[in-house]
Amino acid sequence: MNVTACRHRLQNLVGYPRLAHPGLVLQRLLQDQADPKAAPALLRAARGAQTHAHAVYRAAFNRRKDYFEALKQPPNPIAVADFPLGTPQGGRLIIGLGNESPLETGLSLHHTYGVPVIPGSAIKGLAAHFLLTIGRPSLQSVIFGDTEDAGYVTFHDAWLEPDSLTRKDQDEGLQLDVMTPHHSKYYERKRYQIQGQAVAGGPQNGDPIPPTDFDNPIPIPFLSVRGIFRFVLTCADTSQNGAQWLKWTKQLVCEALAQWGIGGKTSSGYGRLVSLGSAPISSSFSPEAVGLPPPGTVVVATLLKHKHGQPWRASTALRTGDRSGPIVNGDPPSAAEGNVIKLVVDYIDDKAIKFRFSP
């Protein structure tokens, strides 16, 4: 039985040459969900619509660019990092593959202009996970916030550059793509529904269907994206610390996107975004930039349990949590576990701290 998926007055619009909103095409113009030719035709129509969206989208893109430029100006300037990242040669990106859609696959598109967009929440989530993996916990609360304070850096949506909608000679913008699950019933965890008596030694009624070489592969068409995206990060702190946080966050985002990718099918190589100007995360460390006391600062610390033959250790409460380390210049006078004393920070980085007694 055929299922009409859009209003009768819209059924002839798929072939209309001046459609200019790929999102509306995908959401409203699917004619027949049961027709195997309907989905590929819809995807081709959406890809064609991106060219006609170019003029309006470019105007919006430039307004957005001017807005972030204006944020940098006095009297109340905000630090802004604006940088492009693009899909590498042969690379593609798919964001929102599981979004609600009349088709089996979704795609994150700008609601107003219908062009591909990377949500700022996705960028922030990727960067936060990557930061924890590489072991820089002291930056976590500064960039992303914690249960007590909000983070200093705002992650904005990444917009596709307008020229990527029209560079068809370089295969940019929306791209026709296909995935081919070979064992659909196994992936969907379906079970045998056997009519009558089951064969002895064979599958029984209700048994899970296993993957076999006899399964029929089912091609599923979808849209992926190629091109250059414009990323924007902002920090309300315009001091030198704010500029350093923004620099670290930019490097963090660049490295996470280059190494891990973003969106769906990253295990198959999708989602990588690179820049010729991207650099690895700097190994330089500024304690003040992340709210830690620099060397030479006097802090209140608690002596920890002492082991014979080893230096005393102490613990102090910092903005990023309690931090413990050795006392490097001898034993404290009349020391005992639990004593609260004043110590000087001798060394500190994002992972370790060392103390010394003040002269």
Instruction: Note the pLDDT of residue 288.
Output: 59
284 and 302 in a single domain? The answer is no
Q: For residue range 295-323, what is the model confidence (pLDDT) as tens digits?
A: 888 888 888 888 877 888 889 887 666 88
147 and 27 in a single domain? The answer is yes
* Residue 223 clears pLDDT 50, i.e. is over it: yes
One-character DSSP codes across 9-48:
GGTT-TT-TT---HHHHHHH---BTT-TTHHHHHHHHHHH
Higher pLDDT, 107 or 148: 107
Percent of residues, the chain, with pLDDT higher than 70: 85
**pLDDT confidence tier of residue 85, bands split at 50, 70 and 90:** very high
Instruction: Note the pLDDT of residue 1.
Output: 41
Q: Which residues contact 201 (CB under 8 A, 6 or more apart)?
A: none
* Residue 272 clears pLDDT 90, i.e. is over it: yes
**pLDDT confidence tier of residue 179, bands split at 50, 70 and 90:** confident
301 and 170 in a single domain? The answer is no
Higher pLDDT, 67 or 239: 67
Q: Report pTM.
A: 0.70
Residue 103, CB half-sphere, CA atoms under 13 Å: how many? 27
Would residue 194 count as lying in a domain? no
Would residue 227 count as lying in a domain? yes
* Residue 199 clears pLDDT 70, i.e. is over it: yes
**pLDDT confidence tier of residue 250, bands split at 50, 70 and 90:** very high
CATH number for the domain spanning 305: value is 2.40.50.140
153 and 130 in a single domain? The answer is yes
CB contact at 8 A, 27 and 102: yes
Across 109-113, 185-189, 302-306, the highest mean pLDDT is recorded for 109-113
- In the predicted model, what is the mean pLDDT of residues 328-348? 81
Would residue 196 count as lying in a domain? no
275 and 351 in a single domain? The answer is no
- In the predicted model, what is the mean pLDDT of residues 168-176? 78
Would residue 303 count as lying in a domain? yes
Decide which of 288, 320, 339 is a domain's last residue: 288
15 and 149 in a single domain? The answer is yes
Decide which of 252, 268, 288 is a domain's last residue: 288
Would residue 112 count as lying in a domain? yes
Instruction: Note the pLDDT of residue 62.
Output: 95
Q: Is 309 exposed, middle or buried (0-12, 13-18, 19+ CB in 10 A)?
A: exposed
Q: Give dist(CA 336, CA 43) in Å, integer.
A: 73
CB contact at 8 A, 32 and 42: no
Decide which of 272, 288, 304 is a domain's last residue: 288
Instruction: Note the pLDDT of residue 162.
Output: 92
Q: For residue range 121-147, what is the model confidence (pLDDT) as tens digits?
A: 999 999 998 888 876 666 788 888 888
Say how many domains are in the chain. 2
Higher pLDDT, 115 or 197: 115
Q: Give dist(CA 276, CA 29) in Å, integer.
A: 40
* Residue 7 clears pLDDT 60, i.e. is over it: no
* Residue 281 clears pLDDT 50, i.e. is over it: no
Mean pLDDT for all residues in the chain: 82
342 and 237 in a single domain? The answer is no
79 and 144 in a single domain? The answer is yes
Would residue 185 count as lying in a domain? no
**pLDDT confidence tier of residue 86, bands split at 50, 70 and 90:** very high
242 and 349 in a single domain? The answer is no
84 and 141 in a single domain? The answer is yes
Percent of residues, the chain, with pLDDT higher than 90: 24
**Domain containing residue 350:** 292-356
Would residue 199 count as lying in a domain? no
Helix (H/G/I), strand (E/B), else coil: 191: strand
255 and 349 in a single domain? The answer is no
Would residue 338 count as lying in a domain? yes
225 and 350 in a single domain? The answer is no
- Extended strands (E) in the chain: 79-86, 117-118, 153-155, 158-160, 173-179, 220-226, 228-235, 298-303, 313-318, 321-326, 340-348, 353-356
Q: Which of 27-41, 261-275, 345-359 has the lowest mean pLDDT?
A: 27-41
Question: At 176, which amino acid appears?
Answer: L
